[in-house]
Structure 1
């Protein structure tokens, strides 16, 4: 049961304290005057009791947020971040209660993210480790021969582990803000040619068509971080698109508000509108289960946001198109 807080609408704790003193004195004086026909000691005692009751009623609403915050802080010390404080007061303590609730919500989200990350990483690591262990056990037990096919299977699982660890390290550095940006002006076409060349996977050849207009288009960004973005988008397009159709990389100049617009378009099944924001979250896959870590698009989003840019899925008639918009230099 929540007791009333009659002083909550007031915006100043000092005003509340003054009203508390005034109310106690006035009611005590009125009570003493009304009981003056009694004996002096009984009248004085009645006035003191009335003053204490009024003080208790008014002070309870003034200090209850502090007691609630103390209880919630003790719960947080044991790992319970679900406690919230009733923040109906409009004074300084009410503002503190609002800030406390926001802090509790942030800590709860951070704790949930940490638990989900541990679970997701454990799941992602278990799959290739289990497969690699099975291959090696078969070789050691003599069930399988250490021929080229067996070793290639073991190598594929090792490479998957390496990609996962690399992506986790990249994501950790990006989220921690320890990756400095070194913005330079560069020509877009040679840059994209280099990214496509380095991103080529002999085990999964994918044709890429680059369309840059106008010729000689220049961008202003950190080439290393933007290389990471485009490479991850190409990898995502290759996993979801058909091998027969090339991936289209289109670059265009932006308007006064954006300096460069990059589109990566594949002919895959596309992404439903309700899932377009989720695909940039960690360990979220758009349907491909062929060795992706589920971190590529999350890394791309963080790298783009470091440039104060935007990344998202845009409407297209066929396939999937992810657009990166970078601000002008």
Structure 2
């Protein structure tokens, strides 16, 4: 539709030609009626056409000069510059708006990169320092290489391993080449296994309650699956990422001796699954809920991933894994604490 717009560059150039012809024709008719010499009319026509052309050309080239300046600044790594005139109603306005959007995206990527480096450096520094201290004490003979000392070193090594896994997951997200290996499985034994791997709880079928061995040993976890033979169709590895990250955040923000509930039910459509993770923490303010699943978001107190030294990637990866299935994830209303609702369809995208 742009070529036929009254504000398009093609229309403006066409108008310029028409106006120039009209001016020349008008001056020629005046010359014939007044017997003015043709050379004077020619000079006046050329001058008038040049003035009009200069006016139109300035309106076209000035935005291009601005775009060139902004593009050069972006190429030097300055993503704060923006092109003026994005509100123009022609092709140059479209181009200016596109460049500004590109600059916004590049600025966001650059900011995320810097935040990632800062967060990862912080995360790496703590376990590396702790591991180094343990090993130096063993080497210097300050402490013996007994099982307790080795367990301390192992915990720090495991923490490093978790960070590396998170970074690998982020790389997969950015590459967008992770295929789904979906299969049908029973929900209760699957979730029970996820919780056992997390060291949180183990118990009887149907209602699982107990103390965990997480960083918060005082938090109790309750598994509620109904019906007990409920099944789901999903990629078990990706779903593990979702559940593990949601439980981890719920535990971190639970009060002393609080409870985290993992609830699974059949979804509204045939074969779908509704999965909820509820805690008894301070909850998430409504104004902050749209930011919970953003990368690097560590939020304020009470928000998942805040105040724990995390990278702010866990819930972003959970959202990616859910959307990879064609499902949805979000913060749902809850009278107390935080309630994260995950919905998976019966036939995930890319299932095979």
Q: Report if aligned partners of 1:219, 1:259 keep a CA contact under 8 Å in 2.
A: yes
Q: 1:264 to 1:42 in 2, by over 3 A?
A: same
Distance 2:49 2:126 in 1: 71
Distance 1:258 1:79 in 2: 49
Q: Aligned Cα RMSD in Å?
A: 3.1
| 1:211-263 CA distance string (max 9 Å, x none) | 12233222222222112211222222222225634421111122239921111
Distance 2:19 2:71 in 1: 33
The answer for the alignment partner of 1:316 in structure 2 is 334
Corresponding residue to 1:298 among 311, 316, 322: 316
The answer for the alignment partner of 2:39 in structure 1 is 41
Matched, 1:111 2:107: no
Q: 1:281 to 1:134 in 2, by over 3 A?
A: farther
Q: Runs ≥4 in structure 1, deviation > 6 angstroms? A: none
The answer for the alignment partner of 1:250 in structure 2 is 263
Q: 1:39 to 1:18 in 2, by over 3 A?
A: same
Q: 1:103 to 1:295 in 2, by over 3 A?
A: closer
Q: Report if aligned partners of 1:239, 1:288 keep a CA contact under 8 Å in 2.
A: no
Q: Comparing 54-63 with 273-282, which one deviates more in the overlay?
A: 273-282
Corresponding residue to 1:229 among 242, 253, 273: 242
Q: Secondary structure at the match of 2:292?
A: helix
- How many residue pairs end up in the alignment? 322
Corresponding residue to 2:6 among 10, 13, 16: 10
Q: Report if aligned partners of 1:163, 1:293 keep a CA contact under 8 Å in 2.
A: no
Q: TM-score, normalised by structure 1?
A: 0.84
Q: Secondary structure at the match of 1:250?
A: strand
Q: 1:158 to 1:33 in 2, by over 3 A?
A: same
| 1:62-84 CA distance string (max 9 Å, x none) | 34433333332222211123222
Distance 1:278 1:90 in 2: 33
The answer for the alignment partner of 2:67 in structure 1 is 69
Give the 5 Å matches for 1:1-329.
10-31=6-27, 39-81=37-79, 82-140=81-139, 144-148=142-146, 149-200=148-199, 203-204=213-214, 205=217, 207-242=220-255, 244-256=257-269, 259-285=272-298, 286=303, 289=307, 292-329=310-347
Distance 1:77 1:54 in 2: 35
